[in-house]
Amino acid sequence: MTSSTTHDGPTMTIYDFPVGPYPTRVRIAVAEKNLQMKTRFELVDLYKGQHKTPEFIAHKNYSGTLPVLELADGTLIAECTAITQYLDTLDGAPSLTGSTPLEQGVIHMMSKRAEIELLDAISVYFHHGTPGLGPMVELYQNPEWGFRQRDKALRGMHYFDTVLQRQPFIAGEKFSMADITVIGGLVFAAIVNLDIPPECGALISWYERMKKRESVATQPAFLD
């Protein structure tokens, strides 16, 4: 009974947009945890605004964002950090979110910082300072706020460069969820044509290393 694998199949659905920066974070976590066979991805087309329909907001994610994880019993987990925390602890051997209180604290701090100072800032720039997902989806834009956030993200790149000048990974000596969040930020930076400043050598070489990691290299965001 316990060794049968023939009936194994996807037990989790991830509502996904394959090249999206946030979905890419969870895709990398799935690959790092070798959960590809347990998950199926269901496309939600951001450019058609399928994540902003009343149905999606009422039944999948109140915040109207991707990705969302749905378990076999219908339980929904939204937010990349929450999904990563769930996937990482499923096997009792967390490798992305830390196994000691100190590791957990530092990883959560650096991942949140990567959201505030880089990924979320670029997302606001995309939705407010560029055409974003187009006029059918971007019903309100505040360009001034968008451009402020672009500048914040550029400062954030310099900050993470200083971090990587003194340690090999964003949260210290090991690859973690915090690295994945910065990768998400740089995926989004490429979409909005925001280059890493050339003086940020440590960030640039870290990103080259990250893009060679199998869990990263195999993502649709890196395949074109």
Binding site for a second copy (CB under 8 A): 62-63, 69, 71, 75, 77-79, 81-83, 85-87, 89-90, 100-102, 104-109, 112-113, 116-117, 140, 142, 144-145, 148, 159
Nearer to a second copy, 174 or 213 (CB): 174
CB of 50 to a second copy, least distance (A): 20
CB of 203 to a second copy, least distance (A): 15
CB of 156 to a second copy, least distance (A): 9
Nearer to a second copy, 40 or 79 (CB): 79
Write a three-state SS string for 117-135.
HHHHHHHHHHHHHCCCCCC
Q: Is 17 left (phi over 0), alpha (psi -120 to 50) or beta?
A: beta
**Could you give the CA distance from residue 205 to residue 184 in angstroms, rounded to a whole number?**
16
**Structure-derived torsion over alpha carbons of residues 160, 163, 167, 170, reported in degrees to the nearest 10:** -40
Beta-carbon contacts of residue 18 (< 8 Å; ≥ 6 apart):
27, 41, 43, 219, 220, 221
Give the Cβ contact number of residue 16 at 10 Å: 23
Nearer to a second copy, 101 or 198 (CB): 101
CB of 98 to a second copy, least distance (A): 8
Nearest to 179 by CA among 196, 203, 155: 203
**Number of helices and strands in the chain (H, E):** 9, 4
What's the token pair of residue 192? 């909005």
**Could you give the CA distance from residue 224 to residue 209 in angstroms, rounded to a whole number?**
18
CB of 223 to a second copy, least distance (A): 29
Nearer to a second copy, 71 or 136 (CB): 71
CB of 70 to a second copy, least distance (A): 12
Residue 141 phi/psi, 5° resolution? -130, 145
Nearer to a second copy, 103 or 213 (CB): 103
Nearer to a second copy, 106 or 190 (CB): 106
